[in-house]
Structure 1
Amino acid sequence: MAKNHYDALVLGSGQAGTPLATHLQSLSLSTCLVERSHIAGCCVNEGCTPTKTMVASGRVAYLARRAGDYGVSAGNGEVKVDMQKVRQRKRDIVNSFRGGSERRLKDSGVDVLMGEASFVSPNEVSVKLNDGGETTVSADKIYINVGCRPSRPSIPGLDDLDQSRVLDSTSIQELGEVPEHLAVLGGGYIGLEFAQLFRRLGAKVTIIHRSPRLLSKLDDPELVDCLTSILKEDGITMHLSVPHTTLSPSPSSSSLPITLKTPTTTLHASHLLLATGRTPNTSTLSLASANISLTPTGHIPVSPTLSTTTSHIFALGDVKPGPAFTHISYDDFRILRSNLSSSGTSTTHARDKRVPSVVYTDPQFGHVGPKFGALPRGRYVSYSMPGGWVARGLETGETRGMMKGVVDAGTGEVVSFGAIGVEGGEVMGVVQMAMVGGVGWEGLRDMVFAHPSWGESLNNVWGGERREFVVE
């Protein structure tokens, strides 16, 4: 039974909120957690866990079609996809992960309220309970971890379409059949992962993107162009540099009921995926009542210790500005955990520029370090090599991709690194560890890695194509 007042109140049960709530309770601080929809947040329920589960199904379909390349007979070569089984496997894994978080909260003694919270004052929150009624909870400290949701862009004709065929990153995972032709608006992480997934499951797929290159936030042309070529090889059609798109219903007799028109082409699709960004879940929180300011995008700005403009209220995860990654959200928990037990020096969120990311296409695109266009002034040397140089890739028939490292010409420090490969994210993690530990490119070149492993490629990339350049 919830009380009226707590030492700590956590809004949202995502990758920061759930471990934070249980940690606060372990410190003998009475803690209440409010969750609007489902325990464990976006990552477990709509994000990383379900999407990567489905990506695994897509990879199996891809390998099944390639069985002959490995000398394996696969019948007549036809691959059949049971989308309902793909969906059920995803649901089962999500339910398992979510159940673990629910048990963790229950066992720790955290009070959980299922409902929508909004501030009444800087210390008080009203909660509209999902099962009816309303209650008010106050706390000495409040932690906001409400995350974000898919954005719905303003596109002429969008509201005129059959909305059951207009999808976002959540609803597309509940399809019970493979689309005939999936049109994807947006060429970022989400758009590319779903585009390749459904192409592998058997759909015709077209990406429409307003920028001249995919993955605008990872702007190294050499790496992005490499991944773009791979996706085209997989049969994905792309229209880049599209300034605007208009939508309209196709004739009622058409099996492709969505018409998309751009300045250069007209196409017809059975389903439309909106992958044009995400919006922080702050509009219903009544943050003005808590004297909390917002950015123009609706995010909550924070101090280096994650406090908001109201000092006893903190914001964690995607609801604050910065990279919207699960690993950042969990690191926000780490920062608060450290400061809760700190005897002096405060841990801050002023992370260096070595924040990692992985695009979970296949092959993966792992990257760590600043964007190519955001390198600080200085002299650099880049080294790159194709995936065909990797022994492990040749042995497994997975040579698509490349690696590229950018090194400070004076110190030998690895400043930025990207790996496009089957285990590109894992290889990138090795380089990230070297960067944090002060191991330069020569140390990676001379390190003894197990043979034949993907990591062994880090001996060889520094002997690839070498380019010197200066950032003014």
Structure 2
Amino acid sequence: MTKHFDAIIIGAGQAGPSLAGRLTAAGKSVALVERKLFGGTCVNTGCMPTKAMVASAYAVHMARRGADFGVTTGPVSVDFKRVMARKDKVRTDARTGVENWLKGMESCTIFEGHAQFEDPHTIRVGEESLSADQIFINTGGRAATPDFPGVDDVPFLTNVSMMDLDVLPTHLIIVGGSYIGLEFAQMFRRFGSEVTVIEKGPRLIAREDPDISDAVLAILEKEGIRFRLNAECIRFSRQGDNVTAGVDCTSGAPEITGSHLLLATGRRPNTDDLGLDKAGVKMDARGYVEVDDTLCTNVPHIFAMGDCNGRGAFTHTAYNDFEIVAANLLDGEPRRVSDRISTYALYIDPPLGRAGMSETEARKTGRKITVGRRPMTRVGRAVEKGETEGFMKVVVDADSKEILGASILGTGGDEAVQSILDVMYAKKPYTTITHAVHIHPTVSELIPTVFGDLKPVG
């Protein structure tokens, strides 16, 4: 017998539970299906546990710097098991909170198992057959395993299995010089591991401007992390209990041997085993569910939110997907994905906060642009904290005075960039910021100065 609901939500990540809350509050019956861990990537293997580990790494780094602040400290060591136990408590508490919220939600029925479409209105979860007027896909993504020669012959870690390490790696080799790889690189170096990062490209975090990439490289090299760029032919082999990575680089030894290998080379959507073909839902060549500006698929009553739709790869974009769907379906408010301004952060120390276009992207638009830049050594708060690495950069349309983008690499950069983002959403000129009075001493107080010294670029 098929059980009918007003709505089925597949996946309890960032978008699903909040949508369940809105739908049930509107008087609708909801079935929510989760096959593994409530809370999705962010709660279980992404933001919350990794940032808990970043916090531990920052604490040990500052303890080692005690003398810089006139603090006498003895030898500083890391109890890795306690670091991981703290991380586990953070994610378990968050997961339990999401699960209890959903299971206590009136008019929401939880089904634990794997969902597969049987037709456009019906899904099967184990022995249960469920149907609904509307279906929302919120299945997220997982680590992609690249087809490197020898990869099947060696043990390797992903961002998921890194969460279950119980021994600190002696030498961690990381393949992938982007956001996930760099965050793990710095935290494990601070925990005491040797770390080598292998990147196929000529520079780190390729989507960022070259000056950002260069600054991040310098910051991490200063901490003793080794980098192998332009690694065009990456291959792996066993060497006893260790893993050897072969690299063809412009300089350096042709092979690197480490105790552990982390593959941080991208993610793929969890869509290949949903039976989307039976529902007639279109996917692109990479497996992402194709959606329109309201997150509706080509099947009018089926929507896709979060990482599985390819329209964002962050917790905040997944949550915004929920907001867009709820606004259109429940509030009569025509919100669109295209209204969203790109924003994200890289959580190394110091963090990189980003909003809007990079300078490179802005140049490609053909607009006449001006750029402002200031080093963090000019920020009083950074000097007082002894954390002066990095810089601020803003990009402005010279004619309209519209803020096109900002990059803040420095202490508090992930928070400070929000004030610029808010002005961008308000569609106000950059002079809105230069005319504002900011609190001293803060990181944000230098932002008006950066905008006040814009210079044209060729």
User: Would you call these one fold, judging by a TM-score over 0.5?
Assistant: yes
Q: Does 1:237 align with 2:226?
A: yes
CA distance in structure 2 between the partners assigned to 1:288 and 1:439 by the alignment = 45
- Equivalent residue letter for 1:154: D
Provide, for residues 152-189 of structure 1, a one-character-per-residue CA deviation record: whole Å limited to 9, x for no partner: 1111111111x2xx100011122112111101100111
| Partner Cα distance (1:371, 1:386) in 2 | 17
Name the CA distance, whole Å, in 1 between partners of 2:321 and 2:33: 18
Question: Do structure 1's residue 261 and structure 2's residue 246 form an aligned pair?
Answer: yes
Deviations 1:397-454 (A, max 9, x none): 0101100001111122221100011211111111111222234333323321111011
Of 237, 248, 262, the residue aligned with 2:237 is: 248
Work out whether residues 358 and 406 of structure 2, in 8 Å CA contact, stay in contact via their aligned partners in 1: no
Q: Is the 8 A contact 2:358 2:407 kept in 1?
A: no
Query: Residues 379-409 of structure 1, C-alpha deviation per residue, up to 9 Å, x if partnerless?
Result: 1111111110100000110101100001111
Partner of 2:73: 74
Unaligned runs of 5+ in 1: 129-133
1:305 aligns with 2:294: yes
Aligned to 1:468: 456
Instruction: Work out the CA distance in 1 between the residues paired with 2:140 and 2:24.
Output: 22
Match of 1:193 among 183, 186, 203: 183
Rounded to whole Å, the distance in 1 between the matches of 2:366 and 2:221 is 35
**Local SS of the residue matching 1:100:** helix
For residue 92 of structure 2, what is the aligned residue in structure 1? 95
Give the secondary structure class of the aligned counterpart of 2:337: coil
**Structure 1 residue aligned with 2:47:** 48
| 1:144 Cα deviation from its structure 2 partner | 0.1
Following the alignment from structure 1 to structure 2, what is the Cα–Cα distance between the partners of residues 349 and 463? 32
Provide the C-alpha distance between the structure 1 equivalents of 2:282 and 2:39, rounded to a whole number of angstroms: 26
Corresponding residue for residue 61 of structure 1: 60
Match of 2:284 in 1: 295
Pairwise CA distance, 1:340: 2.1
Deviation string, structure 1 residues 347-379 (Cα, Å, up to 9, x no partner): 222224x22110011100001012333222111
Query: Could you tell me which residue of structure 1 aligns to residue 113 of structure 2?
Result: 115
Q: Pick the aligned partner of 1:105 from 97, 102, 106.
A: 102
Shift of residue 467 of structure 1? 4.1
Q: What is the number of equivalent residue pairs in this alignment? A: 451
Counterpart in the other structure of 2:334: 346
Query: Counterpart of 2:286 in 1: which secondary structure?
Result: coil
Take 1:313 and 1:276, find their aligned partners in 2: how far apart are those partners?
30
The residue correspondences of 1:442-457 to structure 2 (distance < 5 A) are: 442-457=431-446
Q: Which residue of 1 aligns with 2:151?
A: 158
State the partner residue of 1:131.
none
Question: Which residue of structure 2 lines up, in the alignment, with residue 367 of structure 1?
Answer: 354
SS of 2:442's equivalent?
coil
Q: Kindly report which structure 2 residues correspond to 1:129-208, keeping only aligned pairs within 5 A, or say none.
A: 134-161=127-154, 163=155, 166-208=156-198
Match of 1:397 among 382, 386, 411: 386
Shift of 1:217: 2.1
The 2-side partners of 1:222 and 1:395 are apart by 25
> C-alpha root-mean-square deviation of aligned residues, in Å?
1.5
Q: Which amino acid in 1 is paired with 2:83? A: V
Corresponding residue SS for 1:308:
coil
Deviation at 1:102, TM superposition (A): 1.5
Alignment correspondent of 1:215: 205
Report if the CA contact (8 A) 2:186-2:225 is conserved. Answer: yes
1:22·1:104 contact (CA, 8 Å) conserved in 2?
no
Query: Residue 200 of structure 1 aligns to a residue in which SS?
Result: helix
Q: Deviations over 1:94-117 (max 9, x none)?
A: 111112111211222211111001
Give the counterpart of 1:285 among 249, 253, 274: 274
Match of 2:400 among 411, 433, 436: 411
Displacement after TM superposition at 1:86 (Å): 0.7
AA in 2 matched with 1:139: A
| Paired residues of 1:401 and 1:421 also in contact (CA < 8 A) | yes
- Tell me the secondary structure at the aligned position of residue 7 of structure 2: strand
Partner of residue 33, structure 1: 32
Could you tell me how far apart the structure 2 residues matched to 1:171 and 1:351 are?
A: 36
Partner SS for 1:350: helix
- State the TM-score, normalizing by the size of structure 1: 0.93
* Alpha-carbon distance in 2 for matches of 1:3, 1:107: 23
What secondary structure sits across from 2:89 in the alignment? helix
Distance 2:339 2:228 in 1: 36
Q: Percent identity?
A: 37
Q: 1:210, 1:241 within 8 Å by CA — same for their partners in 2?
A: yes
- In structure 2, the gaps of 5 or more residues are none
Contact 1:26–1:108 (Cα < 8 Å) also in 2: no
Q: How far off is 1:73 after superposition?
A: 0.4
Aligned-partner residue type, residue 19 of structure 2:
L
Alpha-carbon distance in 2 for matches of 1:441, 1:348: 24
Deviation, 1:318, is 0.3
- Describe how 1:376-395 pairs up with structure 2 within 5 A: 376-395=365-384
| Structure 2 residue 315 is the aligned partner of structure 1 residue 326 | yes
Cα separation, 2, equivalents of 1:286 and 1:246: 34
Amino acid in structure 1 at the alignment position of 2:119: S
For the residue of structure 2 that corresponds to 1:384, the secondary structure is strand
Maintained 8 Å contact 2:230/2:248: no
- TM superposition score normalised by structure 2: 0.96
- Deviation at 1:3? 7.0
- 1:243 Cα deviation after fit: 1.4
Instruction: Tell me the distance in 2 between the aligned counterparts of 1:404 and 1:431.
Output: 11
In 2 relative to 1, CA 351–414 (structure 1 residues): closer, same or farther, beyond 3 Å? same
Q: Deviations over 1:98-153 (max 9, x none)?
A: 1211121122221111100111000110113xxxxx21111111000000000111
Amino acid paired to 2:214? D
Q: How far 1:463 moved relative to its partner?
A: 5.3
Contact 1:83 1:175 in 2 (8 A): no
